[in-house]
Amino acid sequence: MPVAVDPKSRDAVYRAVGKAGVVLIAEGNSARVKQLIEDEKRKVSRAIPGVTIQVVWVNQDTSSTPLHALTKTIYKLKKALNRSEISVVNKRLAGLGLNIPIPKGIDPNRMRPGRRM
């Protein structure tokens, strides 16, 4: 589930917690996703200061990581947390919540007009 989405360009930012700390996975054009990444870094650093935040760019560019190599890239990151710290960080971030602007309930785009006259 993405933690930040740009609905116009459909770029997304995902968050993972592991031995490398907090890993933000940016999907989409790096120029467009940069603002979403900065906002998410700010939120995470406020919630858990002192934990390393690393960014992995997933795209078709030569400078970014291809999707099939994502797990290998995350495993190769430098270890920063132990098992007990990972669970504490994960619980703090779960309390942070998701602020994705997805309407709850009926989809307003699929709503049919009333039949009454």
Candidates 74, 86, 69, 63; CA nearest to 24 is: 74
Does residue 100 surpass a pLDDT of 60? no
pLDDT, average across residues 13-18:
91
Q: Is residue 11 part of a domain?
A: yes
Q: Is residue 103 part of a domain?
A: no
Q: How far apart are CA 117 and CA 114, in angstroms?
A: 8
**Band (102; pLDDT cuts 50, 70, 90):** low
Domain membership of residue 75 as a residue range:
4-85
Q: What residues contact residue 33 under an 8 Å CB cut-off, 6+ apart?
A: 6, 11, 12, 13, 26, 27, 57
Q: Is residue 108 part of a domain?
A: no
Beta strand segments in the chain, E: 4-6, 11-18, 21-27, 53-58
Q: Is residue 28 part of a domain?
A: yes
Q: How far apart are CA 46 and CA 12, in angstroms?
A: 21
The predicted model scores a pTM of: 0.76
Span 31-81, pLDDT tens digits:
888 998 999 899 889 889 889 999 999 988 888 888 898 899 999 999 988
Candidates 26, 31, 30; CA nearest to 2 is: 26
Q: Is residue 90 part of a domain?
A: no
pLDDT, average across residues 81-86:
90
Q: Is residue 38 part of a domain?
A: yes
What domain count does the chain have? 1
Q: Is residue 114 part of a domain?
A: no
